Chains A and B, each alone.
Chain A
């Protein structure tokens, strides 16, 4: 029974993750941990070893003859659509038309008694190939104009005129590498066949509704035949928004065909080879500034490597454009975007969804301006920020007004609390004395737009039951991938009903309970699902209020939900007794909730509108040390101030900020994906693809900016999933600053990403006037 004062685990409480005690005991169940019904089979894909080729002949007899093989499936065995695309564009589940379009494309599927036997059999196909010309790189695609659509432009004002008139023009090109998600749990699905055409799917997916749709279409059944359940993922980061469709579909097809449960998980190397990554970009910029460094006009050419199929590349490339401004007012601007179609894996959603690439480019521009003007990069940034609300300089390149700008205050607070100015001076002194090691420091801000840019996706649904003992069953369309969404949303339900958090049962995402849902993506999880749950709770509360008022012969205004109890006039009744009494009076204790984000609209052809409900802000200062003989580096210190509005759960939010920063730092520094000249990915395992480890973490100070969301979001909080990733940009800029210190200050480092030790050494030698090139 709750103390009368406050509930345990309401909003604002630094509540622990709901599954923490299970995580540490190995008791939290992931897809591959689910005890399978007897007779469960495993699937593996046979993969294309070629980037683009025609299948001259294919002999699958050795696959069928391999030990433990039950069935081998090709495109001809798919009863419905051979398609796993998350959009209207076609993307085959299994290679069709006798052609393959990237190394790693699934050609056939082996169903076998075990995962290992399926993997072994899948390598036994005898295929004769005829290689076809492949388009592998951004260079190849730009030369061939191999694009998914004509270049898309976002513009405001006359950028060319502004550039012509500007006192100084600075140009550059930045290469921005791709990033592997490296969720620790690789993609996985389990299909259990049921009666009639039904199938139940357990999978590791951020988008159960899309899995439901794709499986139904692959089976040729209506959507109601497919039920999808997701309790949790072992990490998602966007990599499980669309990339799990193939596994769920093939398992369902095999399960229906063989009438046995079928599961699949990608071996890590297969996962890294098959699935899409964060898009690599090349961004060319031309910026005109006045003598003080204030931007007059700017033009960007953004080239995104999308891969062989469209997947989510259109909105990803759009979001790179939406964040080409970051926190800066661009008086005359043109952003042209090329969506390059290449014979490589189909790049996909990844935390930030194109935003990070757009943002790192404008940060590079600001850094470049400061270098050329020999000004402090912080001052140049401050000169270019959007005005405070009410100012003149508040309109984005997509004609949305920035109404909630807090970057001035936030940046000033961080600059002071991180002791930036004094440290910059002491670094100068250190560098003057140190021949081999050089230090660098950099500040970077973040302004990130919150909402799906496809407006219709900004909706959520929920289902809430109160049982007659007063315990609550909570369900909504959001999925749990570690971000603490389930905990936060349960806190919302606890807060609404004023009951302790442990009275709220968190349940797996389930398409039969909360239907027609959006993916858990775009940082929207707690914003939209929290609101849908609140709406459901409010509906039940309204019924309980009406019931109580009637029963106690008073008005609804006299009914108040207090911690663990309900006051009706002068009387108090426990929450559970009220629930029980309402049931006896035949009042429904269940409700669905729905939420649609207000205010947003987007006219894509005109590139105008208000695509975002609001912006989330943050800033970071990072200090690094480099070795100018080897290019190695370490991250010494990071200070972060981040805006979560009025946080629903500060502990979880700080966890998201730290994890996002380190993931962003990894993307821009040590995480390097390497494809060879034949289009084969050479870094397809953690042995060769290096995400940060514990010792790469700098000393970190993370604080939440005191404030609240000016928009009416769930308890005035702000989304936190993606924005902190871009705080990691400060790490790249700090490396660049340290590289500068190796030279005489006349040559801009132009440090590209990922800034591996090799890239850093090359930049060091570049600023020292001893340039060298690599062959790759």
Chain B
């Protein structure tokens, strides 16, 4: 068991002991290392000004990921290679992402620029991509000056420039650092970073009040915004197999530590709408950190993962010590802030059945902005029509109640009836039985209810033979 944290910073090894495990990577870079190229824009993972590259071995291959340094807690970086904007240029020329941004007037005030450059640096090895995917690559980076045009152009043009020939393969150094568990203590906080699930289970059981940290896209804000001072942290990101993605003919099993970024393709194969939802969930940086299982475990009523997974009939594997139990995902959410989770128990895995018809699952996420916005209301509909009648309906909403919740009354109003506009319209009043949503800064109660009803109408429109245009963004959107 190590008591010092080790990682690479710009190719140089770093070893830290006695440091407060709640320290964010951003604060450490700027205040302890004087690496002020990485900027603080919002300190909550929403603007991308602090984007840095984190490289780890994924299936033995080094993979670059852009992350928000402001909500990366230092222990999450154990065994990784961290790259900041100061270190990406070669000895005598800029990285193509930098060169393109300078050439094409991609910076004005320049404060967001290092973050954009690092998102582009992380995406560079994937090779040229269409404009829409360039937009996805930088959707987690806000710019208030340019209007984005020159930055999008830079994301395209960087591949026309000579490739870097100075970069060092971090694989050997990364492999050498992968050597077991870490316990880091400092400033009255102890952090555990186990590497086996048995260790993890024992730690959670022994420290039932500990905060379990996966991607810290939520926990990070407890620390940076609420200014919480949790005494015990358990990090799951180095647990072997906890990030597994097991795809079979019958479904998908995700270890609770599988990030949205890594699971995106497999989720998209379960359902195109699910793939589109994941594309819009958070941002590249958030999906690189945030985990599907953790998005469930935190119990948020506006998490985007649960409604479609409930509609698909997903199950959760919960573990306490050596004991496992499996429950329907739907049963996990008991009330606002309360889940079916015993002290010392944690979410270990998610099992998602593969739908017979991937296109049958319809998902609509409504927010003020398409990219990187928290849902006002999200509807997932899996309606099976046989011989013109509704054979089954699984309709689940987020943002409409204290938990992700099925529209049981609406489902009842549909099942067994002919799939017609009359049936759909007759079912609309049932939404008010299922949901009494709240008014907040994202939307009014009236809008949420109105939009929810309209989404059922939209599902009906989309089932028409005439295939009307109904989508504004994503695959299948109006050209």
Contacts and interface: CB of A to CB of B under 8 A. Distances in A.
Interface of A: 16-17, 19-30, 32-33, 35, 114, 116, 119-120, 123, 181-186, 232-237, 265, 267-269, 434-437, 481-484, 625, 627, 629-634, 651-652, 655, 658-663, 670, 672, 674, 682-683, 685-688, 690-697, 700, 756-758, 761-762, 765, 772-776
Given A16-B105, A183-B109, A436-B458, A25 B98 contact: yes
A629 B471 CA distance: 11
Contact of B111 (A30, A434, A691): A30
Contacts of B441: 672, 674, 682-683, 688
A436 B86 contact: no
Contacts of A123: 227
Q: Among A625, A693, A774, which residue has the most Cβ atoms of chain B within 10 A? A: A693
A435 B38 CA distance: 48
Contacts of A633: 472
A184 B107 CA distance: 12
Interface string B445-460: 1110011001101100
A30 B107 CA distance: 15
Given A25-B94, A29-B36, A268-B42, A20 B105 contact: yes
Contacts of A232: 109-110
Given A114-B31, A120-B227, A30 B39 contact: yes
Given A184-B143, A661-B147, A693-B371, 4 more contacts: A19-B110, A116-B27, A630-B364, A659-B147
A32 B144 contact: no
A366 to B, nearest CB: 25
Given A25-B98, A437-B478, A659-B108, A184 B142 contact: yes
A682 B368 contact: no
Nearest to A657: B147
A22 B102 CA distance: 9
A23 B370 contact: no
Contacts of B134: 694
Interface stretch (B1-9, B112-120, B306-314, B403-411): B112-120
Contacts of A663: 144, 147
* Interface size, B (range): 35 or more
Interface string B88-115: 0100001001110111011111111110
Q: Is the interface of A mostly helix, strand, loop or mixed?
A: loop
Contacts of A185: 39, 41, 109, 111
B89 A25 contact: yes
B43 interface: yes
Given A17-B107, A232-B110, A694 B144 contact: no
Interface stretch (B44-52, B204-212, B341-349): B44-52
26 contacts: A16-B102, A17-B105, A20-B101, A24-B101, A26-B36, A26-B84, A26-B86, A27-B86, A184-B39, A185-B109, A186-B40, A265-B40, A483-B108, A630-B451, A659-B144, A672-B368, A674-B441, A685-B46, A693-B135, A694-B135, A694-B148, A695-B136, A695-B473, A697-B152, A758-B447, A765-B450
Contacts of B99: 24
B108 A17 contact: yes
A277 to B, nearest CB: 14
Contact of A776 (B109, B364, B439, B450): B439
Contacts of B27: 116
B108 A484 contact: yes
A651 B104 CA distance: 9
A686 B46 contact: yes
Contact of B225 (A33, A269, A774): A269
B461 interface: yes
Contact of A774 (B49, B447, B455): B447
A540 B83 CA distance: 48
Contact of B443 (A265, A661, A693, A758): A758
Contact of A268 (B41, B113, B145, B371): B41
B447 A437 contact: no
B420 interface: no
Nearest to B374: A687
Contacts of B478: 437, 625
B373 interface: yes
Contact of A634 (B144, B364, B473): B473
Contacts of B149: 658, 697, 700
B447 A687 contact: no
B151 interface: yes
B150 interface: yes
A13 B420 CA distance: 64
Contact of B108 (A634, A655, A687, A758): A655
Contacts of B455: 629-630
Contacts of B225: 269, 685
B368 A685 contact: no
Interface string B418-447: 000000000000000000000111111111
B34 interface: yes
A22 B110 contact: yes
A695 B31 contact: no
Q: Among B47, B111, B136, B445, which residue has the most Cβ atoms of chain A within 10 A? A: B111
Q: Among A21, A29, A483, which residue has the most Cβ atoms of chain B within 10 A? A: A21
A91 B444 CA distance: 35
Contacts of A183: 109, 111, 144
Contacts of B34: 35
A354 B135 CA distance: 32
A269 B41 CA distance: 10
B366 interface: yes
Given A434-B469, A686-B44, A697-B149, A33 B110 contact: no
B372 interface: yes
Contacts of A265: 40
Contacts of B41: 184-186, 268, 686
B111 A632 contact: no
A443 B134 CA distance: 29
B325 interface: no
B465 to A, nearest CB: 14
A96 B162 CA distance: 61
B366 A235 contact: no
Contacts of A692: 147-148, 369
Contacts of B46: 685-687
A187 B112 CA distance: 15
Given A436-B461, A757-B366, A775-B444, A24 B109 contact: no
A369 to B, nearest CB: 30
Contact of A695 (B44, B132, B446): B132
A687 B44 contact: yes
Q: Among B49, B85, B478, which residue has the most Cβ atoms of chain A within 10 A? A: B478
B355 interface: no
B446 A756 contact: no
Q: Among B89, B454, B457, B458, which residue has the most Cβ atoms of chain A within 10 A? A: B454
A693 B115 CA distance: 14
Nearest to B112: A184
A52 to B, nearest CB: 22
Q: Among B43, B97, B472, B473, which residue has the most Cβ atoms of chain A within 10 A? A: B472
A437 B470 contact: yes
B357 to A, nearest CB: 22
Given A16-B103, A682-B440, A697-B147, A690 B368 contact: yes
Contact of B146 (A28, A32, A658, A695): A658
Q: Among A119, A632, A662, which residue has the most Cβ atoms of chain B within 10 A? A: A632
Nearest to A272: B42
B108 A233 contact: no
Given A434-B469, A437-B478, A685 B44 contact: yes
Given A184-B142, A658-B146, A268 B43 contact: yes
